[in-house]
Chains A and B, each alone.
Chain A
Amino acid sequence: MTLLGQTSAWSGIPVGEHLWVFSPMIALIATMLAVVACPIVVGRSARTIARVATLGVIVTLGLTLATWGEVSTNPVSGLSTQPTSGMLIADNLSIGFQVILMVFLLGVIYLWKIGSAGSEENAPEFFILLLGSALGMILMVSTSNLLMIVLGIEMASLPSYAIVGFNKRDRKGAEASVKYMIFGAVCAAIMLYGVSLLYGMVGSLSVADLARYTVEQFAGGQHPLLLSVGLLCLLVGPAFKISAVPFHFWCPDAFEGARIEVTTWLSVASKAAGLILLARMVSTFAGAVDEPLAMSVLKPLAWTIGIMAAVTCTLGNFAAYPQQSVKRLLAYSSIAHAGYMMMAVAVFLHPQADRSGEPMAALMFYIIVYVFMNLGAFGVTALVSWETGSDRIEGFTGLMRRAPWLAVPMVVCLISLVGLPPMAGFLAKWWVLVALGSLADGWGANLAWFLIIVAVVNTLISLYYYLRIVVVMTLRDTGEPVIRSPIGGLALVNFCALMLLALLVVSAPLKATADRFSRNLFDATTVTQPAGEPVAAALDRAD
C-alpha cells in the first residue's frame, strides 16, 4: 500500500457511496460473468444466453436510472484524492450516455434474437464480446484521465475487432476484422505515443492539467511544436472511434463485412462514445480558459476539429453516391452523420458563458435521434437481406408492395437521416445549427459560418442517395415475391419509425432531457498541483 500511496492517481480508494454510483458498470461486468458461467450451468442454448444478457442489461439500465438523481446533483470523481484527476467520473453526461447505450443495446440484442439466434452456436462468446465493448464505451465517456481514456478506447475496440469477424467461415468478415484491427492498432499506437509526450510535458495524466498547460502555452501567442504534435496524436484515438476523416478507412469495410446486428451496434455506439469523449475533453479545455472573452487562444484546436468535421461529412456524403450495397451506403452515411455531430463538438464554448450547454445538448439530442434512425434503417435492411440473401439496393425493388410494413418505416428513417422537416432528424440537425449559431457572434464567427454552410450544403447533397432507395422501393416493381418477416422484427422497425415521428411532437421534453444530460458536468477545470518539475528544468538539470 505504501507503494501505491505515493502516487497521485491511486491513493484514494473509493468509499461505499462512490461504488453505488458506479454500480451500473459493476452490473454490466456481473452480466458478462453470468454469460461466461451460463454454458457451465445451463448449457449453451442461444436463447437462454440472450435472456441472461437482456436481464443484465435491463438491471444495468435500472441502476443507471436509480443513481441518476444522486449523480445529477452531486457528480462524483472516483479513484482519486484529487477531485480533478478523475480516473472514473459519474456525472450527467456519463449517466446520459449509459441510458442511451443500454436502450440501444437492448434493441441490438433483440435484432440478434430475431435474425441469428436460431443458427448461432457461439452465443456466449458473442455476448461477452458485445457486452465487453459496451463496458469499454462506458469507460471511455466516464473519465478525464489519459490512461483511462486509452484503456477505455482499447477496451471498446478489442472486442469490436473480434465481433466483426465473428463468423469463422465468412471471407468478408475475416477481411473486415483484419482491416479494422490493423487500422485500430496503428491508431492506438500513435495515440499512446502522443500521450507519452504530453505526460512528459505536463507532468500529469489528468486532462485538466493538460488543458491548463495548453492554454498557458497558447496564451503567449506561441504554439510549441512538440505540444501540437502531442495533441494531434491524442486526437487520433477519438477520431478513429468517430471514424473522422482521415481515420475512416476501417468504417465501410468493417460495416460491410460484419453481421448486420454488429454493424448496427458499431454504427451508433462506437461513434457516440468517441464523440462524447471528445466533447468532454473539449469542454475541459474550454474550462481551463480563465474568462469567456479569452477563448480565442483555443482557436487552432477549434479549427482543427471543425475542419475535420467538415471534411468528414462532405467525404461521407460523396462516397455514399456510387454504393450498391445498402449496408455500405449506410456506413458512409454514418461517417457523414459523425461529421455533423462533430461540428457541435468543435464549438468550444466557455462553461461560464450563458449558452455553454447548447453544443453538448445538441450533441446528446442528435445521438438520441440517431439511435432510432439507425436502428430502424439497419433493422429494415437486416429483415430484407435475411429474406432475400442480399443487401444490394436492387433487393429493395418494389418493397412498398412486397412488404409495406418494412417500406414505410424505411422511408421514415431515410427522410429523417436526410434531415427533412416532418421527422426528428430535422430537429437534430436544427439544434446543431443553433449551437453553431450561438458562436456566430463571438470569437469563432468565421468557423461557425463555415460549418453552418458546410452542414446545409451537405444536407442537400445527401438528399440524392437516400432518396435513391426510396425511389427504388416505391416507384419500381419487377414482380418479386412478397417478403414475410417475423412479427417481432416488424414491431422493432415500426417502433423506431414511430419514435422518429413522436420525437418531433414531444421534442420539448426530449430537448429538456438532452439539456439535463449536458448540465452540471463534473467540474474538472481546476488544476491539480503538477507533482514534478516541468520538463525544461529536468532537461537542464540532466545536462
Chain B
Amino acid sequence: MATISLNHYLIVGAVLFCTGLFTMMTKRNAIGILIGVELVLNSVNVNLIAFDRYLGPNRMDGQLMALFVIVLAAAEAALAVGICINLYKNVATVDVDRATSLRG
C-alpha cells in the first residue's frame, strides 16, 4: 500500500481549486459564487499545511498563514452575506445577471 505523499495533498488542493474556479465562473447566484470562493480558500489551506508538513520539521509560516486565511474567509463571508441581503432588499434577487442598472 502506497504511503500518502505531498503529491496527493497537492492534487486534492488542485482539484478543490479547479472546482472552486468552475463554480465561480458558472454560477450566476451571488451565494453560489461565494461558495466557489470558499472552496478555493480551502484549497489554499490544504496546500499550505501540506507544504509545512513535508518541507521540514520546524515550519510554522504556512500553518500560521492557514489560520489567517480561515479568519479571512470568515470575515469575507460575513460581509458578503450582509451585502447580498442588502441587494436582496433592494432588487429582490441575488442573481448577479439581473442586477443590471449599472452598465456601459
- Inter-chain contact B86/A533, CB cutoff 8 Å: no
Which residues from B are CB-within-8-Å of A532? 55-56, 59
Q: Within 8 Å CB of B50, what residues of A?
A: 200
Within 8 A of A (CB), among B32-47: 33-34, 36-37, 40-41, 43-44, 47
Would you list which residues of chain B between 83 and 102 have a CB under 8 Å from chain A?
83-84, 86-87, 89-91, 94, 96, 99, 101-102
Q: Is the CB of B102 within 8 A of A253?
A: yes
Residues on A lying within 8 angstroms of B by beta carbon are 3-4, 6-10, 147, 150-151, 154, 158, 161-162, 165, 168-172, 174-179, 181-182, 185-186, 188-190, 192-193, 195-197, 199-200, 203-205, 252-253, 256-257, 322-323, 325, 328, 531-533, 535, 538-539, 541-543
Chain A nearest CB from B101 CB (Å) reads 6
**Measured between alpha carbons, how far is A256 from B44 in the docked complex, in Å?**
34
Whether B64 and A186, one on each chain, are in contact in the complex, defined by CB atoms closer than 8 angstroms, is: no
Q: Digit string of B8-49 for contact with A (CB within 8 Å is 1, else 0)?
A: 001001000100110010000010011011001101100110
Q: Which of A154, A168, A182, A196 contacts B44 (CB 8 A)?
A: A196
**A538–B55 Cα gap in the complex (Å)?**
6
Is A538's CB under 8 angstroms from B79's CB?
no
Chain A residues with Cβ under 8 A from B65's Cβ? 147, 150, 195-196, 199, 205
Is B104 within 8 A of A200, CB to CB? no
Q: Which of B10, B41, B83 contacts A165 (CB 8 A)?
A: B83
Chain A interface, DSSP helix/strand/loop, else mixed: helix
Say yes or no: A531 contacts B59, CB within 8 Å: yes
Q: How far is the CA of A135 from the CA of B40 in the complex (A)?
A: 26
How many Å from the CB of B8 to the closest CB on chain A? 9
Q: Contact at B86–A179, with CB atoms within 8 Å?
A: no
Contact (Cβ within 8 A) B55 A323: no
User: Is residue B75 within 8 Å, beta carbon to beta carbon, of the partner chain?
Assistant: yes
Q: Is the CB of A178 within 8 A of B51?
A: no
CB–CB B60/A6 < 8 A: yes
Please determine whether A181 and B91 come into contact, CB atoms closer than 8 angstroms.
no
Evaluate contact between B91 and A175: CB separation under 8 angstroms.
yes
- Majority secondary structure of chain B interface residues (helix, strand, loop or mixed): helix
Known: A154-B72, A539-B7. A189 touches B58 (CB 8 A): no
Are A533 and B48 touching (Cβ within 8 A)?
A: no
A367 to chain B, nearest CB (A): 27
> Measured between alpha carbons, how far is A279 from B54 in the docked complex, in Å?
33
Q: Is the CB of B47 within 8 A of A542?
A: no
13 A–B contacts from the bound complex (CB under 8 Å): A6-B58, A147-B61, A150-B68, A154-B72, A154-B75, A158-B76, A169-B90, A189-B40, A193-B47, A196-B43, A532-B55, A538-B54, A542-B54
A186-B36, A189-B20 are known; give 18 further A-B pairs, CB within 8 A. Answer: A6-B60, A10-B64, A158-B76, A158-B79, A165-B86, A171-B91, A172-B102, A178-B30, A189-B44, A192-B69, A195-B65, A196-B65, A199-B47, A204-B61, A257-B102, A328-B104, A532-B59, A542-B5
The 5 residue pairs across chains A and B that have the minimum distance between CB atoms: A532-B56, A542-B5, A7-B60, A532-B55, A189-B40
Asked if B5 and A199 sit within 8 Å, CB to CB, the answer is no
Interface size of B by Cβ–Cβ distance < 8 Å?
54
Distance (whole angstroms) from the CB of B90 to the closest CB of chain A: 4
Smallest CB gap from A164: residue in B: B83
A196-B40 in contact given A178-B84, A179-B102 (Cβ < 8 Å): no
- Of A174, A197, A531, the residue contacting B86 (CB under 8 A) is A174
Partner of B47, one of A172, A186, A200, A543: A200
**Cβ-defined contact, A193 with B40, below 8 A:** yes
Q: Knowing A174-B91, A189-B40, A252-B104 touch, does A181 contact B79 (C-beta < 8 A)?
A: yes
Of the candidates A182, A325, A533, the one whose C-beta lies within 8 Å of that of B96 is: A182
Q: How far is the CA of A190 from the CA of B87 in the complex (A)?
A: 25
Assess A192 versus B102: contact at CB under 8 Å? Given A205-B61, A535-B55. Answer: no
Nearest-neighbour CB distance to chain B for A162, whole angstroms, equals 6
Given the complex of chains A and B, what is the CA–CA distance between A190 and B43 in angstroms? 10
Please pick, from B5, B30, B62, B68, the residue contacting A182 in the complex, using a CB distance under 8 A: B30
When the two chains form the complex, which single residue of A165, A171, A199 contacts B101, counting CB atoms closer than 8 Å? Answer: A171
Q: Which residues of A contact B24 (CB under 8 A)?
A: 186, 189
A151 contacts across to B, CB distance below 8 A: 68, 72
**Measured between alpha carbons, how far is A154 from B68 in the docked complex, in Å?**
11
The listed residue (B10, B64, B99) touching A175 by CB distance below 8 A is B99
- Residues of B with C-beta under 8 A to A178: 30, 83-84, 86-87, 94, 96, 99
Please measure, in the bound complex, the distance between the C-alpha atom of A10 and the C-alpha atom of B61, giving whole angstroms. Answer: 9
Measured CA separation A162–B72 after assembly (Å): 15
Quote the shortest CB–CB distance from A417 to chain B (angstroms). Answer: 20
**A395-B79 Cα distance, complex, nearest whole Å:** 36
Do A168 and B86 touch (CB < 8 A)? yes
Shortest Cβ distance from residue A377 to the other chain B in the assembled complex, whole angstroms: 19
- The one of B5, B20, B40, B83 that contacts A543, using a Cβ cutoff of 8 Å: B5
Docked CA distance A147–B20 (Å): 22
A542 nearest CB neighbor, chain B only: B5
Question: Which residue on chain A has the smallest CB distance to residue B46?
Answer: A196
Query: Which chain A positions have C-beta within 8 A of B21?
Result: 190
Which residue of A is nearest B63, CB measured? A7
- A374 → chain B closest CB, angstroms: 20
| Distance of A67 Cα from B5 Cα, bound (Å) | 50
Q: Least Cβ distance of A92 to chain B in Å? A: 28
Chain A residue contacts of B64, Cβ below 8 A: 7, 9-10, 147
Q: Distance in Å from the Cβ of B77 to the closest Cβ of chain A? A: 9
In the complex, A319→B97 CA distance in Å?
21
B90 contacts A174, C-beta separation under 8 Å = yes
Which of B43, B86, B99 lies at the interface centre, i.e. has the most chain A CB atoms within 10 A of its CB?
Answer: B86
Is the beta-carbon distance between A192 and B79 smaller than 8 angstroms? no
B103 (CB) vs chain A CBs: closest residue: A253
| Chain B residue nearest in CB terms to A171 | B90
Take A181-B83, A199-B65, A542-B54 as given contacts and tell me if A189 and B90 are in contact as well, using a CB distance cutoff of 8 Å.
no
Residue of A nearest to B102 (CB): A253
